[in-house]
Amino acid sequence: MKILIGNKNYSSWSLRPWLVLRHFEIEFEEEILLLNGDNWKQNLLARTPSGFVPVLEDDGLVIDETIAIIEYLADRFPQYNIWPDDMGQRAMARACSARMHAGFVALRSAAPMNIRGNFPGRIDAKVIARDMEELEKLLVPLLVNSQGPYLFGDFCAADAMFAPVACRVNTYGIDVSPRLKNYFTAIFSLTAFKEWQGAALKEPWVIPEGEMDFIQVQN
């Protein structure tokens, strides 16, 4: 089994299934396909069905969509609680994951994932206010119900879906409630996340479009 991912510093979608694989100690290989540089788009198109990462390759299958990858892993490795074991909780976990997948566009646009970055106070809070309010309304009740540290008690795929949000909040110094702050701290404490973060900090590649000065010029 192999997963093709983008630069670890920037590729939020790659982080999600990678975190599931590593946290549940599923054996896999990884290959980084750079998201900038000479002919990077052509290279992606040559290796992936859609020209996007992540992509999972397993026994002749090629799966190139994050939630589809996670669902495949849950089916392939039923011995792990990649989704919550309880049917109702599992449905809730999938529902909040789908909302993350389809929503929070303002937050993702204004604050792209940049693990190496440190840009507190450089985002217009009004631009992301609605998304942050929605995030609180979505996640806090789940955390209250589960009593933490993760959305459904133990770490599951839903938490992997929100890990890049934790990175964004940290990088841009975005204000969140104490309960969300504790939740994001729990994500950062994961051994798997620390491994990804350590690799991201060592990457030599810089994507100008993911850096704050470029974003502010474009806006």
pLDDT per residue, tens digit, the chain (219 aa), is: 999 999 999 999 999 999 999 999 999 999 999 888 888 889 889 888 888 999 999 999 999 999 999 999 999 999 999 999 999 999 999 999 999 999 999 999 999 999 999 999 888 999 999 999 999 999 999 999 999 999 999 999 999 999 999 999 999 999 999 999 999 999 999 999 999 999 999 999 888 777 754 443 333
Q: Is residue 112 in some structural domain?
A: yes
Residue 36: predicted pLDDT: 86
Enclosing domain of residue 137: 87-196
Both 42 and 118 in a single domain?
no
Q: Considering 27, 44, 79, which residue would you say is the last residue of a domain?
A: 79
CATH number at residue 30: 3.40.30.10
Both 56 and 97 in a single domain?
no
Bridge partners for 3 per DSSP: 30, 56
Distance CA 186, CA 148 (A): 9
Q: Is residue 49 in some structural domain?
A: yes
Structure tokens at 65: 């969509």
CATH number at residue 104: 1.20.1050.10
Q: Considering 30, 45, 79, which residue would you say is the last residue of a domain?
A: 79
Both 92 and 145 in a single domain?
yes
Both 75 and 153 in a single domain?
no
Q: Considering 17, 45, 79, which residue would you say is the last residue of a domain?
A: 79
Q: Is residue 34 in some structural domain?
A: yes
Distance CA 93, CA 37 (A): 37
pTM: 0.93
Distance CA 51, CA 43 (A): 8
Both 103 and 172 in a single domain?
yes
Residue 7: predicted pLDDT: 94
Q: Is residue 213 in some structural domain?
A: no
Omega before 84 within 30 of 0, i.e. cis: no
Contacts of 147 (CB under 8 A, 6+ apart): 153
The pairing of strands 29-32 and 55-58 is: unpaired
Cα distances (angstroms) measured from residue 51 to each of 4, 48, 64, 112, 210 = 11, 5, 9, 19, 19
Residue 130: predicted pLDDT: 97
Both 130 and 62 in a single domain?
no
Both 75 and 93 in a single domain?
no
Q: Is residue 154 in some structural domain?
A: yes
Both 116 and 179 in a single domain?
yes
Q: Is residue 48 in some structural domain?
A: yes
Q: In the chain, how many domains are there?
A: 2
Both 8 and 103 in a single domain?
no
